[in-house]
A = this chain, B = another copy of it.
Amino acid sequence: MQVAYLLYDRFTALDITGPHEVFNSVPDVESVFVGENAGPCRNESDTLSMVADKSLEEVTAPDILVVPGGFGTRNLLDHEPLLEWIRSVDETSTWTTSVCTGALLLAAAGLLDGRPATTHWLARETLGELGAEPVADRVVIDGKYATGAGVSAGIDMALTLVSEIYGTEVAQAVQLGIEYDPQPPLDAGSPEKAPGEIVELVSAVFTARESS
């Protein structure tokens, strides 16, 4: 079982390390970090680098594809070499997945046409414009397409898939291994739960960052 994790300029690190920590806890799962070119990729806030160990040409048939989000997605929505690779590996993948605005890349590649899918709450409209049917759920599975909501939702998405693929006991072992017993000190993790003025603040900050 090979899981390919896509890296690109201005990705979000937690989007990709969350699912990796989950899938990678299952024995005999091979992980490969892949980018358009092999080498370091800088995250969206220019604060860290993760390394693409392989180039796109070197990774042709992963069983699972994980596409993270990040402000960098916006520049890639018409970047055919990447979209073509996504379409190509999707032809033979068992699961094609995304976290956060990674769903925009799957949609831009034409894989989510008419399908229910989720993304970061601030990107739902864009996801709809790209042909998917945005759903305000944390994890959406439609056929072999699994999408997670914003950033931290990748952990829930991957754990849901591990349970689906390997069964409840393996998923329980994975959850216990990474001690995933979340206890957020506040309850503001969705636009439905956060105070209105916080929703407006985050919306304004993200809109400003996106256009920067």
What residues make up the interface of A, taking CB atoms closer than 8 Å to B?
5, 12-14, 17-18, 20-21, 24, 31, 33, 40, 45, 47-51, 53, 100, 120-121, 138-139, 149-153, 155-156, 159-160, 163, 168-169, 171-173, 175-186, 188-191, 193-195, 198-199, 201-202, 205-206
A53 nearest CB across to chain B (Å): 7
Contact of A155 among B13, B139, B152 (CB under 8 A): B152
Which residues of B sit under 8 angstroms from A12, Cβ to Cβ? 21
Task: Report Cα–Cα, A199/B190, bound state, in Å.
Answer: 32
Which residues of B sit under 8 angstroms from A181, Cβ to Cβ? 138, 149, 152-153, 189-190, 193
Q: Is the CB of B206 within 8 A of A186?
A: no
Q: Is the CB of B163 within 8 A of A179?
A: no
Which residues of B sit under 8 angstroms from A178, Cβ to Cβ? 14, 150-152
Task: Report Cα–Cα, A169/B200, bound state, in Å.
Answer: 12
Contact of A149 among B49, B179, B186 (CB under 8 A): B179
Contact of A180 among B45, B159, B171, B189 (CB under 8 A): B189
A11 nearest CB across to chain B (Å): 11
